[in-house]
Amino acid sequence: MKETLVLHTYFPTIIGVVTNPDHQALENKLTKKCLKLRKKIKSGGKNWISNETYNTLNTYHLAKDPDFSDINEFVTTQVIRYCEAQSIDLSCLDTDPLAWLSIYKKNNYQEWHTHIPAMISAAYYLRCNDSSAKIYFKNPVDTMLPSKVLSYNNLNFEQVKFQPKPGMVLIFKSHVYHCVSQQHNNDIRICLSYNYRRKDSI
């Protein structure tokens, strides 16, 4: 009888995915609001390579805007569920996030980066379509001499990508590197980003 090989996945990179069932009622109104903000609020992220992508990081506090309260509350609820599923102590999670928006036009992108020193991060897709730029996540474990892989699966991926969908939220640990590929279509892609910190880091 052949012996049994047991594979233990002790250190997974966990990415939560959930879709807001009430998104459609919010998309048009908040897309217009984002486009108005682009006209009057200066863009952040000037030290980024991708500095042509409009964003309001540190220039506008989206979490304080009552027009976004329904989405903000939805995202925070899902972040709490993500933490509960991993038995993360919620008493150390600051549920008042730093939040900002990013608007991608044709040829815009976002280079590889993390959201350190935040604890949990989330990306909510307010407006996009099936050909909008994808988000990529990189394996946080570096291997000096990686093995040759014959076929990829959840045990050996070096990076994964997600096609944004309207109302979709991605939730991940803030130390995980991620990027956004170049936007190739003429429509706009609007992403709302959230950083949740540890209470003892405030």
- Measured CA to CA, the distance from residue 57 to residue 102 in angstroms comes to 8
pLDDT range class, residue 97, cuts 50, 70, 90: very high
Percent of the chain past pLDDT 70, that is, above it, reads 99
pLDDT at position 201 is: 61
pLDDT at position 142 is: 78
Would the pTM count as exceeding 0.85?
yes
- Measured CA to CA, the distance from residue 44 to residue 117 in angstroms comes to 18
Q: Which residue in this structure is represented by tokens 């991060």?
A: 121
Q: Which residue in this structure is represented by tokens 């604890």?
A: 119
Tell which CATH architecture fits domain 16-108+115-129+165-176+183-201: Sandwich (2.60)
Higher pLDDT, 147 or 127: 127
Q: With contact defined as beta carbons under 8 Å apart, do 161 and 95 qualify?
A: no
In this prediction, residues 98-122 reach a mean pLDDT of 97
Mean pLDDT score of the chain: 94
pLDDT at position 46 is: 80
pLDDT at position 202 is: 54
Q: What is the pLDDT of residues 2-21, one digit of tens each?
A: 899 998 988 899 999 999 99
DSSP three-state, residue 135: strand
Percent of the chain past pLDDT 90, that is, above it, reads 83
